[in-house]
Structure 1
């Protein structure tokens, strides 16, 4: 991402880490999702959330989430220089199948989401290998297009500095851990 100065952090308001998760961690989270997912928040989207795992009496499957979530939270706090420890509002495995997409938006785009300051997306599978379509685009800044690769993470502010969209899934299934 270039020089890691405070000025760049404030201007870019995003961090991309290519190999944040191991392929084994990706496969473990994929297994959990395949075992426990439910209909998601929009057509052709499926989700597995921590609260869902607790409600379905599957708390043993939460363990892999916790260490990854803690590592991500620490990376966000470090990169953005957070003075206080962050609280994680949402953690979920989200898969998008053929036809799923989302237009330009921010992750704090509703009154009930204004407590969101940062977002993190860990890609659990790879564009071109596991799915087609589903590229992630930022409206402004660099990089402006992310090509999902298993293990990579994108961390960014949830506000209007990072308006983004995701292209329609054409084939396969795009799987992420989203916080």
Structure 2
């Protein structure tokens, strides 16, 4: 057997082997292709079903969002804007009948009965430099203490100062007293008298019949989680029910909604059930709002969601027995 014949035989065997393998490979390929085609069809069907389900879910979700949107629009349509930050209001006032309970109680003080109850807003009672002094004072002192929750209070008349989850006496803290300067107290009393005069004029009563009452205080509201009931400032309430001595309530806003914080609007709630409407005040630096303290002015403050909201609540009574004196510097009581 020559090398050539061996080479030939080997070539022939190789060819036979390839030929033996080739028909088998073609058949397997055909079967494999058939299976792959089936799998592909199944995957396509599954993908289409999955895509259809996703699309269906997306349509349902969009529908829900549309319903929620229109519901919220309908709900918000019952809200009026009593004072917007973009407005510069010399005076905006709304008058209405007093609640029966308020009318019955205030009759004990004939000179202090309003011609009608109501609410007003003014952006021209207090000067910006006056607000700057008060805001700086509040920020400085509350930065030394402050609540662990969302509402911190500083009452310069009683000395009550929020500290973590309790109150301390600010006049027992020398560094707090050191911040109180005579010019702060002068501005504080001047602002109080301006607001007192405006309340008397707008509600048709003599200013002499109004007395500053407790609590009158600075507040700082944030989005911190409430730790105590004092931190839950957003609940609806009537001032006269919360503070028996109140007859007229006022607030001076020390900084501005949307610029310095978000949330924190002041909301009056009028009517009930299907006739319920809300009237919103957007706080603004130097803005004063004032109102009779009875059930005719149910209200709440929206939760602050970002930043720090500063204001002063200045409250007045018609009862001389519930009056407090003007602010003056106290010596530290160690």
Normalized against structure 2, the TM-score is what? 0.47
Distance 1:11 1:34, change over 3 A: same
Q: Find the aligned partners of 2:136 and 2:93 in 1 and give their Cα distance.
A: 37
Task: Give matches, 1:27-66, under 5 Å.
Answer: 27-37=132-142, 38-39=145-146, 43-51=149-157, 52=159, 55=171, 57=177, 58=180, 60=182, 61-66=184-189
**Conservation of the 8 A alpha-carbon contact between 2:252 and 2:289:** yes
What is the aligned counterpart of 1:23 among 121, 128, 140? 128
**Cα offsets for 1:122-152 (capped at 9, x unmatched):** 1111111000001111001898101111111
Stretches of structure 1 lacking an aligned partner (at least 5 in a row)? none
Deviation at 1:19, TM superposition (A): 3.0
The answer as to 2:207 corresponding to 1:98 is no
Kindly indicate which of the two structures has a greater share of residues assigned to strand: 1
SS at match of 1:28: helix
Deviating above 4 A after TM superposition, structure 1's stretches of 4 or more consecutive aligned residues are 1-7, 9-12
Task: Give matches, 1:61-76, under 5 Å.
Answer: 61-76=184-199
Using CA pairs below 8 Å that are at least 6 residues apart, which structure has the higher relative contact order? 1
Q: Find the aligned partners of 2:292 and 2:285 in 1 and give their Cα distance.
A: 22
Please, what is the CA RMSD of the aligned residues? 2.8
What is the aligned counterpart of 2:263 among 111, 133, 140? 133
Deviation at 1:18, TM superposition (A): 2.2
Kindly indicate which of the two structures has a greater share of residues assigned to helix: 2
Stretches of structure 2 lacking an aligned partner (at least 5 in a row)? 1-90, 98-113, 161-169, 225-231, 272-276, 315-334
The more displaced of 22-31 and 135-144 is 135-144
The answer as to 2:307 corresponding to 1:172 is yes
Deviation at 1:35, TM superposition (A): 2.0
**Cα offsets for 1:41-66 (capped at 9, x unmatched):** x9311222222298254362322210
Q: Find the aligned partners of 2:312 and 2:93 in 1 and give their Cα distance.
A: 27
Greater C-alpha radius of gyration: 2
